[in-house]
């Protein structure tokens, strides 16, 4: 059997009413793309056997492969297996191996297994069982090769589902497709999506394998390069050739990495250079330091983060002259430069950045409206600052300001 197209059906009233975000569908969709399996529909259905059965039957009218998540637990509203078994004309049978794994899981956690957990060991007859290394509910694939249909059922908790998909489902599905798909993402900062598209429009229109597609994030652009071929290795060769082609365009100046993010790229850049970084923050409130120190190994490059929220703190901790603050204001180019210089000298870092601004929602004036942020940079060559006008709520202004500062630190290191 060759799988032509798939659908995703996630089960749970908690998803429908907005209590939780459905990350499972996005994760499964991404994996299907890498496997080269077409995927045209997604749906969410609550814990109701009639509606669930209708959704399963409707999906199987359209697709060869239905992947479901949720509803495999021990409680009375977990009805996915029962419903799918009925739709596929199968009985539920007790699986000894699945039950042993459930018992071992409870024993490992030092918990007493209740009687209703035995429900999780019942599997549709003739199914391929997927073990659960992160929880108690096993997954399974119910196959009907005469009809050309497969239904895969996976647990709802994302950390259980993702592990099971990677370890068990991907090898299982690989037997039903002879084409591999791979993707890499070119990470771009400092150039908008429309500008990237304008530069690469001809390439995007002419590139069929691999394809080139832009995606816009918070102040960043991601170019997704996707190739399909008969082997993983050939996919990667096609992708790398296309990346090399893009690096010959004006976009190259704004590329900061491949399949990474700004903080990780910054840490790696400073590591490779053997240099150190520090930051002084006002409006970003420690967000730069947090994002950098979230990266494993950042202790090799990050020396100090100072959150100086008041004028007095800027003066006392960073040695910003009070006359600078009184003359130019807390939110100013001059103050930003002095903040960056102060934290560089205090920490002994090679590069230091600073932020001072108005993140909102209040505090803005006609001369300095909400969203005004100055980012300062200091190296042994001197100081400079850049004025930004950022749009969005307080959270977004702070995020964009921290991203600009991290990017500015990398550029200062290379200049």
Q: Is 41 in the same domain as 148?
A: yes
Q: What is the mean pLDDT of residues 257-286?
A: 98
d(CA 196, CA 202) in angstroms, rounded, equals: 11
Q: Is 39 in the same domain as 168?
A: yes
pLDDT bin (cut points 50, 70, 90) of residue 106 is confident
Q: What is the mean pLDDT of residues 311-329?
A: 97
Looking at 174, 198, 215, the residue that finishes a domain is 174
What's the structural domain count of the chain? 3
Looking at 258, 290, 311, the residue that finishes a domain is 258
Q: Is 67 in the same domain as 124?
A: yes
For the chain, what is the HEC assignment? Answer: CCCCEEEEEEECHHHHCCCCCCHHHHHHHHHHHHHCCEEEEEEEECCCHHHHHHHHHHHHHHCCEEEEECCCCCCCCCCHHHHHHHHCCCCEEECHHHHHHHHHHHHHHCCCCCHHHHHHHEEECCCEEECCCCCCCCEEEEEECCCCEEEEEECCCHHHHHHHHHHHHHHHHHCCCCCEEEEEEEEEECCCHHHHHHHHHHHHHHCCCCEEEEEECCCEEEEEEEEEECCHHHHHHHHHHHHHHHCCCHHHHHEEEECCCHHHHHHHHHHHHCCCEEEEECCCCCHHHHHHHCCCCHHHCEEEEEECCCHHHHHHHHCCCHHHHHHHCCCCHHHHHHHHHHHHHHHCCCEEEEEEECCCCCCCCCCCCCCEEEEEEEECCEEEEEEEECCCCHHHHHHHHHHHHHHHHHHHHHC
d(CA 54, CA 37) in angstroms, rounded, equals: 24
Q: Is 318 in the same domain as 387?
A: yes
Q: Is 372 in the same domain as 313?
A: yes
> Which one is predicted more confidently, 292 or 114?
292
pLDDT at 52 over 80: yes
pLDDT bin (cut points 50, 70, 90) of residue 84 is very high
Beta bridge partners, 149, equal 144
Tell me which residue of 257, 281, 240 sits closest to 398, measured CA to CA.
Answer: 281
User: What radius of gyration do the chain's Cα atoms show?
Assistant: 27
pLDDT at 257 over 90: yes
Q: What is the mean pLDDT of residues 39-67?
A: 96
Q: Is 235 in the same domain as 270?
A: no
Q: Look up residue 347 and give its two tokens.
A: 């920490």
- Domain holding 197, by residue range, is 180-258
Q: What is the mean pLDDT of residues 251-268?
A: 97
Q: Is 188 in the same domain as 151?
A: no
Q: What is the reported pLDDT for 28?
A: 97
Q: What is the reported pLDDT for 408?
A: 98
pLDDT bin (cut points 50, 70, 90) of residue 178 is confident
Q: Is 274 in the same domain as 410?
A: yes
Could you give the C-alpha distances from 315 to 160, 291, 338, 353, 355, in angstroms and in order? 51, 25, 9, 16, 15
pLDDT bin (cut points 50, 70, 90) of residue 324 is very high
Q: What is the mean pLDDT of residues 32-38?
A: 87
pLDDT above 90 coverage of the chain, percent: 85
Contact 214, 268 (CB under 8 A): no
Average pLDDT, the chain: 95
Contact 181, 226 (CB under 8 A): yes
Residue 49 maps to which CATH number?
3.40.980.10
Residue 224 maps to which CATH number?
3.30.70.2860
pLDDT at 77 over 90: no
pLDDT at 201 over 90: yes
Looking at 258, 285, 307, the residue that finishes a domain is 258
Per the listing, tokens 């969203």 go with 371
Q: What is the mean pLDDT of residues 125-144?
A: 94
pLDDT at 179 over 80: no
pLDDT at 371 over 80: yes
Q: What is the reported pLDDT for 34?
A: 82
pLDDT at 175 over 90: no
Neighbours of 290 (CB within 10 A): 14
Q: Is 208 in the same domain as 138?
A: no
Q: Is 161 in the same domain as 306?
A: no
Q: Is 227 in the same domain as 105?
A: no
Q: Is 16 in the same domain as 147?
A: yes
Q: What is the reported pLDDT for 295?
A: 98
Residue 405 maps to which CATH number?
3.90.950.20
């Amino acid at each position: 059997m060759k799988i032509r197209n798939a659908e995703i059906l996630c089960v749970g009233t908690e998803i429908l009413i907005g209590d939780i975000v459905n990350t499972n569908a996005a994760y499964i969709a991404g994996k299907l793309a890498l496997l080269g399996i077409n995927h045209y529909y997604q749906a969410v259905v609550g814990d109701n056997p009639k509606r669930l059965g209708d959704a399963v039957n409707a999906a199987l009218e359209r697709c060869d492969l239905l992947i479901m998540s949720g509803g495999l637990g021990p409680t009375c509203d977990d009805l996915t297996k029962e419903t799918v078994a009925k739709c596929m004309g199968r009985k539920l049978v007790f699986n000894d191996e699945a039950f042993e794994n459930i018992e071992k899981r409870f024993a490992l956690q030092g918990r007493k297994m209740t009687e209703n957990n035995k429900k999780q060991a019942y599997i549709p007859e003739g199914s391929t069982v997927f073990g659960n290394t992160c929880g108690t509910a096993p997954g399974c694939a119910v196959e009907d090769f005469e009809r050309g249909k497969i239904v895969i059922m996976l647990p709802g908790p994302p950390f259980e589902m993702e592990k099971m998909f990677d370890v068990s489902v991907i090898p299982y599905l690989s037997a039903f497709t002879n084409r591999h798909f791979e993707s890499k993402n070119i990470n771009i900062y400092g150039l908008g999506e429309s500008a990237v598209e304008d530069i690469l429009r001809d390439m995007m229109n002419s590139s069929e394998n691999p394809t080139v597609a832009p995606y816009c994030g918070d102040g960043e652009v991601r170019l997704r390069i996707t190739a399909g071929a008969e082997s993983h290795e050939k996919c990667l060769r096609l992708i790398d050739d296309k990346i090399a082609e893009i690096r010959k365009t004006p976009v190259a100046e704004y590329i900061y990495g491949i399949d990474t993010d700004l903080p990780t790229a910054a840490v790696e850049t400073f590591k490779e250079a053997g240099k150190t970084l520090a930051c002084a923050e006002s409006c970003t409130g420690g967000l730069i330091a947090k994002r950098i120190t979230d990266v494993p190994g950042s202790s090799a490059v990050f020396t100090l983060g100072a959150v100086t929220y008041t004028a007095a703190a800027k003066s006392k901790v960073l040695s910003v002259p009070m006359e600078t603050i009184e003359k130019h204001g807390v939110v100013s180019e001059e103050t930003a430069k002095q903040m960056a210089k102060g934290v560089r000298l205090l920490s002994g870092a090679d590069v230091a950045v600073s932020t001072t601004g108005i993140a909102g929602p209040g505090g803005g004036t006609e001369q300095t409206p909400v969203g005004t942020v100055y980012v300062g940079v200091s190296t042994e060559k001197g100081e400079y600052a850049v004025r930004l006008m950022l749009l969005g709520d307080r959270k977004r202004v702070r995020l964009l300001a921290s991203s600009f500062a991290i990017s500015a630190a990398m550029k200062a290191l290379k200049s």
